[in-house]
Amino acid sequence: DTLWDLAIAEVEKRENPDDDVKQGEFWEKSILFMGNKNGVMLNTVHYFSLHREETPKPTLALEYTFGRRARRHNTPKDVAHFWELGGGTSLLELIRIPITSHNIRSFAVVLVLDLSKPNELWTTMENLLQVTRNHVNKILVKLEKTNPVVAAELKQRMRNNLQRDHPDYELIDPFPIPLVIVGSKYDIFHEFDSELRKIVSKTLRFVSHYYGASLVFTSKSEALLLKARVLINHLAFGYDKSKSVSVDPSKPLFIPAGLDSLSQIGPPPASDSDIGKMRANTPLELWKKVFEKTFPPKSFCDLQDTKDPAQDIQYAEYEVDVMRAQKNQELEQYKRNASKSWKEMDFDSD
């Protein structure tokens, strides 16, 4: 979209607020960013959605920030809560902290995948989305008992990304909450062999469409980051999402949810004979096998981040660190004394 298109869309949004946000009320949404370890995901949020100039530090665990926007003059500001899960796939259990039964109706996920590391791509994506989906499904099961209307509404909402007359309506398996997949470091990825780029691009198109997600490729380029901003602002503040589409594998992909199709994506990038030899129970599993034949995955353990956040220099506090060192020494001494006392005990064999 041109700047003029974005300006028109924003004016229309302000003049025609969402039906579910009444006059005088404010919009409140939450977004969880997650992806490859060492990825700086909040740069996009800080630079574009929040317009903050400070450079965010790498996230080691779970970090929170927020942004506010006014839809019209003299109206309450809408609020967007931004969470970022650090450590790649090493801290999956923290996903349950930001996503709760209280905010599930207004929650979304942004999955950031490093395009420059295709051998890590599927494993990272699979583990993060699987844990998130399992947690959300548990919440939905509870809601079906306590508030079945809300549970039904959430399930139907994800189906609404695809029109009922879409040929793939019954063939996809939508993610239970809104999902955007971001392919980062496109500037490096663009230097890959064209055939390898096609495999990655085609696979991510399928995964995104199968999950009812939006897909965008980004880099440090301001023009590409602007594309990501459009999708994030749609999730965070309800702005209209762009209806433009870019599916050319030689260019950065940009496909809002519901605007792709299996017929346009085509079959998995493998010969018919190779596909015939692969045993798969679902289309997603078939695409995984084809993708990993070209990009053998790193093991799940290799993707674990074993660095202790407590040792990170950005959290250093002299007094606290000295006291902790002292307590560690006392603990080791206690262990040695306890070991000696146990060895010196006489146990009755009867």
Return the bridge partners of 216, or none: 182, 254
Find, among 74, 69, 63, the residue nearest to 31 by Cα.
63
pLDDT tens digits, residue range 20-72? Answer: 444 445 578 999 999 876 554 555 555 545 555 555 556 667 888 888 877 66
pLDDT tens digits, residue range 150-189? Answer: 888 888 887 777 788 889 988 899 999 999 999 999 999 9
Angstrom distance (rounded) from CA 138 to CA 107:
15
- Non-local (6+) Cβ contacts of 312 within 8 A are 60
């006014």: which residue's tokens? 70
The pLDDT, as a whole number, for residue 2 is 61
Q: What are the structural domains, with CATH classification, of the chain?
A: 26-262 (3.40.50.300)
Does the predicted TM-score (pTM) go above 0.85?
no
Find, among 270, 275, 129, the residue nearest to 203 by Cα.
270
Both tokens of residue 185? 């470091």
The pLDDT, as a whole number, for residue 40 is 47
Task: Evaluate if residue 75 carries a pLDDT over 60.
Answer: yes
Cα dihedral sign, 317-318-324-328: positive
Instruction: Determine the residue type at 297.
Output: P
